[in-house]
A and B are shown apart, each in its own frame.
Chain A
Amino acid sequence: MPWTCLDTEERLSDYLDGLLAADERTAMEAHLAGCASCPALVAEVRSLADRLPRLEQAVEPTWLVYRILEATSGAVRVKREVTWKGFFAGLLAPRFVLGLSAVAATIFFLFQALGINPKKITAEDLNPVNVFRAGDRQAHLTYARGVSFVNDLRVVYEIRSRLHMQEASATPNAAPQQEEQKNAPSPQSDRKLKNDLLHHGPSVIAVGAMAGFAAGGLQ
């Protein structure tokens, strides 16, 4: 079967790469010797196959490498596998335990401040209106207790200053070194103090008792 132009075209790369069998190569070269068009095609393809590997490479921009590095440096997200063991280990982490304790303490103090009993908590206790009212009530109570405490202190100091004045008037020539002992309430002054205190409210009685106790402690 004679070698045709189509055969040449189909086996051209094999011919150029030296992959044709000897008899095929002979047949093809015989065809090329007598063909008007095939030798030109062979020359063109041979030239192309020689020149293509020697073509200068396209040069990428310098910043491309840095852009790729920047893009790939955070591209992979480590997917953490969640296991029960890991979950409980996370619960025992110091950071989590401390955070949980802080939250519990905050809730405890908040309940205390609002007058809510955690054991008997109801949905009504968590109603914002009720929470506000309870907070407002507690704030006023705290303020009132503060005011009462300051007033009681004032009464105590007043009583003590009166006692000092009575003692000073009873013994005007006493030696200065005995003054401290005289400052201590005598049985008579204690009785007068109690009489004075009877004219004040119950809280003042308590404060007066405290003052007596304090004075006794000085002896």
Chain B
Amino acid sequence: MRRHTRRVYNLAYRFTGNRQESEDLSQEVFLRLYRTLASYRAVHGEFTTWLTSVTRNLLIDHYRRTRRDRLTDSLDDEKSPAEHKASPGRRPDELASASELSEQVQSALQKISPELREAVILRDLQGLDYREIQQVLSVPEGTVKSRINRGRIELARLLSGMGVQPE
């Protein structure tokens, strides 16, 4: 239970970038899972893939619901100095810190499109293979590969702009 909760929570947190929303979404995922558990069949693939699929669908629903709020927030951000913009004055050893890199990645993830974001999260943060991602996203393999590739490139450019140096 705790392992699955962490997986769902991480997926939600990486996608939304908000802990409070991730907690609520995690609970909602398990509620939905519990209600539809009877409909789970082996044809849906591994349980973990099915769990990821349910989580992803809920995240996309949540993304669409909150789109208007985010647009308003982004307008507000443009008026005030962005706190999470690149800080050129930081020392390299600070940027090397793991937790800081995690925050940088989190910040950069929020700036790429949800399609690319979910593909990168599923591949590089959740460790799913292409076939599982194809099942979760219900898109052809070529689309999965393309999204992962474009997502990585956009993320790398954003991190570079934040001062994160390659290892």
Binding site for B on A (CB under 8 A): 9-14, 41, 43-53, 55-61, 64-65, 67-69, 71-72, 75-76
Contact = CB atoms under 8 A, between A and B. Distances in A.
A72 B125 contact: no
B156 A48 contact: yes
A146 B22 CA distance: 79
Interface of B: 1-2, 5-6, 9-10, 13-14, 19, 22-23, 26-27, 30-31, 34-35, 98-99, 101-102, 105, 120, 124-125, 127, 145-146, 148-149, 152-153, 155-157, 159-160, 166-167
Contacts, number: 102
Given A12-B153, A51-B101, A58-B14, A44 B31 contact: no
A140 B43 CA distance: 80
B157 to A, nearest CB: 7
B9 A60 contact: yes
27 contacts: A11-B149, A12-B152, A13-B145, A14-B149, A41-B153, A41-B157, A44-B166, A47-B166, A48-B124, A48-B152, A48-B166, A51-B167, A53-B125, A55-B101, A55-B102, A55-B105, A56-B99, A57-B10, A58-B10, A60-B6, A60-B22, A64-B9, A65-B2, A65-B5, A67-B23, A68-B5, A69-B1
**Interface secondary structure of A, over-half rule:** helix
Given A47-B167, A58-B13, A60-B23, A75 B31 contact: yes
A13 B149 contact: yes
B52 to A, nearest CB: 15
A122 to B, nearest CB: 54
B159 A44 contact: yes
A10 B127 CA distance: 22
A58 B19 CA distance: 9
A13 B120 CA distance: 11
A68 to B, nearest CB: 5
A43 to B, nearest CB: 5
